[in-house]
Amino acid sequence: MLAYGLSSALAAALAFVSLGNDNGVEVSGQYAGYIISGKQAPRPGAATPVGKGSGVTCSYTPWAVDGRKNGGLEFVDPGSNPNDEPSGKGAYYLVECSDGYRDVIWVRKKFDPSVTPEQLARQAYKLIPIKPPNVLTAPPRGKEGLVGLPHWFYLAKGEWTARSKRLQTGLVWAEATATPQRMTVSTGDGKTIICDGPGTAYDPARSAGEQSSTCSYRYPRPNSSYRVTVTVTWRGTWRGSGGAGGTLPPIARSVTFPIRVVEAQALVTKG
């Protein structure tokens, strides 16, 4: 890597300084001055800055073509490296790893390492398919409920399940997960009930007296069309490369439907 902008005094001084091999920097004489190589040799047995599953973490910093001060590589001009001719669209990055590896490398655009795990996690979170809840009731929707008797609300099978999405670009990856946290029922008569789970499914093969609901409401008055809104709130979390992780904003999805509640009619017969 050729160092541009070096003064003649600095180049001459370098000729008398023993830099050694510990930092991977070498000095050699040239007709027009000196060439400084700031590119450290790769770790033994490593073809890339960090191997999959190695536990080593790396950070990437965009590198200006005219050089910039970054931990001892301040005189490096990556654009002049004869052994790493870039091809296609991309940019140079300074890569620094937790095991001491440092280098300036060319990274293709689609593998832009400047993306952080959290940025990837937020993108992945938006891609998780979370639809309005599929809510079942007992009595079934379309059938009349009775005043004073519990009206059950519960989710269809498979609705109360965590969902995840993983994205990766280059060596940076993240996985976002949405987990159902609570179900809220606005009953349509000004009341709200909060259920910690998906509710209990009603089994028509069993008698009503043998079953109980974890998410139900007893309507005190009849109404031909209560407007019920059921909302499921999802909690967001993420984890990513380098041991990163955290929380994401909650997601809420709702569905609204009518139910009808009538008074029970007493059956009077003559004795």
For the record, the structure tokens of 4 come out as 């541009």
Q: Which of 4-18, 54-68, 232-246 has the lowest mean pLDDT?
A: 4-18
Question: Is residue 23 scored above 70 in pLDDT?
Answer: no
Let me know: does 180 contact 230? Beta carbons within 8 Å: no
Shared domain for 165 and 126, answered yes or no, is yes
Shared domain for 182 and 225, answered yes or no, is yes
The pLDDT value given to residue 170: 75
The pLDDT value given to residue 1: 37
C-alpha 120 chain-centroid distance: 6
| Final residue of a structural domain among 57, 80, 111 | 111
Question: Is residue 269 scored above 70 in pLDDT?
Answer: no
> CA of 101: how far to CAs of 142, 208, 249, in Å?
67, 68, 36
**Measured between alpha carbons, how far is 141 from 122 in angstroms, rounded to an integer?**
37
| Final residue of a structural domain among 111, 143, 159 | 111
Smallest CA-to-CA distance from 141 within 221, 54, 196, 202 is with 202
- Dihedral of CA 89/94/98/102: which sign? positive
Q: Which of 108-112, 148-152, 211-215 has the lowest mean pLDDT?
A: 108-112
Shared domain for 202 and 170, answered yes or no, is yes
pLDDT band at 91 (very low <50, low <70, confident <90, very high): low
Smallest CA-to-CA distance from 172 within 123, 127, 128, 126 is with 123
Q: Which residue has the higher pLDDT, 54 or 214?
A: 214
Q: Which of 75-84, 111-120, 187-196, 260-269 has the lowest mean pLDDT?
A: 75-84
User: Residue 200: which CATH number?
Assistant: 2.60.40.10
> CA of 114: how far to CAs of 64, 108, 118, 238, 263, in Å?
14, 12, 11, 19, 65
Shared domain for 96 and 154, answered yes or no, is no
Shared domain for 244 and 164, answered yes or no, is yes
Smallest CA-to-CA distance from 40 within 99, 113, 108, 116 is with 99
Shared domain for 16 and 129, answered yes or no, is no
Shared domain for 237 and 151, answered yes or no, is yes
HSE value, Cβ hemisphere, 13 Å, CA-based, for 97? 22
The pLDDT value given to residue 111: 52
Structural domain of residue 122, as residue ranges?
Answer: 117-262
Is 179 among the domain residues?
yes
pLDDT band at 51 (very low <50, low <70, confident <90, very high): very low
Q: What is the pLDDT of residues 227-237, one digit of tens each?
A: 999 999 999 99
Shared domain for 96 and 151, answered yes or no, is no
The pLDDT value given to residue 37: 33
Shared domain for 37 and 136, answered yes or no, is no
Is 267 among the domain residues?
no
Question: Is residue 212 scored above 50 in pLDDT?
Answer: yes
Following CA atoms 63, 64, 66, 71 in sequence, which dihedral angle do they give, to the nearest 10 degrees? -40
> Is 260 in a helix, a strand, or coil?
strand
Is 243 among the domain residues?
yes
Question: Is residue 182 scored above 90 in pLDDT?
Answer: yes
pLDDT band at 56 (very low <50, low <70, confident <90, very high): low
Question: Is residue 268 scored above 70 in pLDDT?
Answer: no
Q: Mean pLDDT throughout 147-158?
A: 95
| Final residue of a structural domain among 68, 84, 111 | 111
Q: Which residue has the higher pLDDT, 117 or 269?
A: 117
Is 106 among the domain residues?
yes
Is 190 among the domain residues?
yes
Is 270 among the domain residues?
no
Beta strands in 25-156 (DSSP E): 26-30, 33-37, 58-62, 90-97, 102-108, 135-138, 144-146, 150-155
Q: Which residue has the higher pLDDT, 133 or 36?
A: 133
The pLDDT value given to residue 100: 76
Q: What is the pLDDT of residues 106-144, one digit of tens each?
A: 666 555 556 788 989 999 999 999 999 999 999 998 899
Question: Is residue 16 scored above 60 in pLDDT?
Answer: no
The pLDDT value given to residue 106: 64
Shared domain for 245 and 157, answered yes or no, is yes
Domain total of the chain: 2
Shared domain for 98 and 230, answered yes or no, is no
Contacts of 63 by beta carbon, 8 Å cutoff, 6+ apart? 70, 76, 78, 91, 92, 93, 94, 104
Shared domain for 48 and 12, answered yes or no, is yes
